[in-house]
Chain A
Amino acid sequence: MTVRWFQSIDRAVEFVLFLMFLAFTLVGGLQVFNRFVLGLPLSWSEEFQKFGHIWMVMLAIPVAYRRGAHLGMDMLLRLLPATLQRAVGLLTELLWLFLALAIGRYTLVIMQVARSQESPGLGLPMHWVYAGMVIGSAYLAFVALRRLATYFGWSEPPPDPLEST
């Protein structure tokens, strides 16, 4: 039951990624169209794309982590005895949790300060932009906790691997 709940969260996050990426790509297209065809550059489109990219990256880092896609060199690791491999794996999950909690916690500090600032193009309060980093790290921590739980007997079906073309 819990597992199914978790999986719907994962799917929802991935669908949000798609919508964000689609949205800022369309705005990018609109920017090019406006500038070249209509001769009317937009004032807000660059910021929309930049902030959309930041939100997307922060949400997609945990997705890549869940799918085991992050770049690393595992050649030496595979030569180690199984118990050591397990220890390094555990250390890796703990480091992810540490990174997620720290980014989330300290971005909240920045958000306090940024409450009074507005972005120049969109006029968006800056703490909304930073909120993407908090939400992303919260999901990152959630994924890390689930991965940690697998070291203590909990199990969930492996994520669908990144299909390749």
Chain B
Amino acid sequence: MLVGLFILLLLLITLGVPVLLVMGSVGLAGILATPGLVPALFPQKMFAMLDNFSLLALPYFILAGELISAGGISKRLVEFAETVVGHWRAGLGHASVVSSMVFAGVSGSSVADTSAIGSILVPAMKGRDYKPGFAAALVACAGTIGAIIPPSMTMIVYGSMANVSIGGLFLGGIVPGVLIGIGLMTVIYLYSLSPAHPELRRTSGSFALARVMRATLNVWPALLAPIIVVGGILSGAFTATEAGVVACFYGFFVGFFVYRILKLRDLPRIFIRAAVTTAMVSGIIGVAGAFGWLLAYLNFNDIVLSAITHVAGTKTAVMTLLMAIMLLLTMFVDSMAILIIMIPVAVVIGRSFAIDEFQLGLLMVMATQIGSTTPPVAVLLFVATSIAGCTYSETIRYCWGFIIAEVTVLVLVILWADLAAWIPHHYLG
């Protein structure tokens, strides 16, 4: 039965049937085909999964991201980043990492991060003779930070399904997110040493404090947003969901009163677009509630747990194995689908090996993000390649260095739980 379900699942996903539909119809077929189960279990488990207040952080942060980016913030962010790091070698490359990190504090989605920053910086980098494939690989990998520095849609998905504090996961993402940024910038620096990349040795302008101040004035609303969100959660004042509500009102305030780009008649369009994006993710979570329940009923989680325990005995070994499985699967299947199937497995493993919940959560989120930059199936590389207008194989040629940097941070978090777990435990108790 289990084998049949997975074969059907993989076959349909590979054929390009949408993930929500695949999980929904395979789960439904499984419940119908299992003797002793009533079909009403399907909508009931779906409802139970969605009937969760912490999941509301998802529509709120999606809406906040739409409202703030409707105010045209990404262009200003890039200008800001360029005044800060543009005078370094390969300044535009570094600027793309810095803008992705700041944009990550506004948006919770790595796809939004890659397309917002990429659509401005990739043409600029091509204009300075950067290889299009290099620019694409860079903005795709920098985009992963969008889902690691808070807020993060992937963390909301993980937290609400695994029953882990989303606020805690947000706080845990700060250090790994910054480390990935530093790692990517190190890789850019190493590329700039290579004789094959003379374009990366050029610098643009010099550092001027006055320019930085002026650019900061331009982007303060975007810089303030993560401070409100993270500060509110850190102080224990807000839950992640409430922080999301506050971010929506803040985004509306900025777009309407500060930048004055937002108009009241744009609101229906913005809300509808955010509702559709929410449904794409919440819908998958809902059907995954029923599908995951069926897998658990068929003892899938215990089978995987005993197989993993058979191979690996220590905490570190188990985490390494789990990450290896995640990275391998996400190469070939959409990484969000893999995350959602693997969350219950990870929770069972984490419990029986007493792995810190925030460490485990961060590892799963990071693996999902790395998975969306590892070919052949890599949604961020697809987005960036289409922006850069190069061939997919050219992007793939340049992505490996950046992926090594991301995996290095992943390994650091496996070895040193405090990187992800210290801040949440310290501030949330």
Contact = CB atoms under 8 A, between A and B. Distances in A.
Interface string B1-38: 00000000000111111111100110010000000000
A134 to B, nearest CB: 9
A17 interface: yes
Interface string B162-193: 00000000000000000000000000000000
Contacts of B52: 50
Contacts of B55: 53
Given A32-B242, A71-B18, A99 B275 contact: no
B70 interface: yes
Contacts of B268: 14-15, 18
A21 B249 CA distance: 13
Interface stretch (B56-64, B92-100, B298-306, B409-417): B56-64
B51 A56 contact: no
B271 A61 contact: no
B408 interface: no
Nearest to B24: A99
Nearest to A17: B275
A28 B271 contact: no
Contacts, number: 181
B223 interface: no
A31 B53 contact: no
**Best-surrounded residue of A25, A54, A98 (most CB of chain B within 10 A):** A25
A10 B377 CA distance: 33
Contacts of B248: 25, 28-29
A18 B271 contact: yes
A165 interface: yes
B293 interface: no
Given A22-B271, A163-B269, A49 B56 contact: yes
A91 B60 contact: no
Main secondary structure of the interface of B (DSSP, over half): helix
A107 B245 contact: no
A31 to B, nearest CB: 7
Interface in A27-73: 28-29, 31-32, 36, 46, 49-50, 53-54, 56-57, 59-61, 63-65, 67, 69-73
A50 B53 contact: yes
A77 B60 contact: no
A63 B47 contact: no
A7 interface: no
Contacts of B244: 28
30 contacts: A17-B271, A22-B267, A25-B63, A31-B245, A32-B238, A50-B50, A50-B52, A50-B53, A56-B278, A56-B279, A63-B272, A63-B276, A69-B276, A69-B280, A70-B19, A71-B18, A71-B20, A73-B377, A75-B376, A75-B377, A75-B382, A88-B17, A99-B21, A106-B39, A106-B42, A107-B43, A133-B46, A163-B269, A165-B66, A165-B116
Interface of B: 12-21, 24-25, 28, 39-40, 42-44, 46-47, 50-53, 55-56, 59-60, 63, 66, 69-70, 115-116, 237-238, 241-242, 244-246, 248-249, 267-269, 271-280, 282-284, 286, 333-334, 336, 376-377, 379, 382
Given A54-B50, A70-B21, A75-B16, 7 more contacts: A54-B47, A60-B275, A70-B283, A71-B18, A77-B15, A110-B47, A164-B115
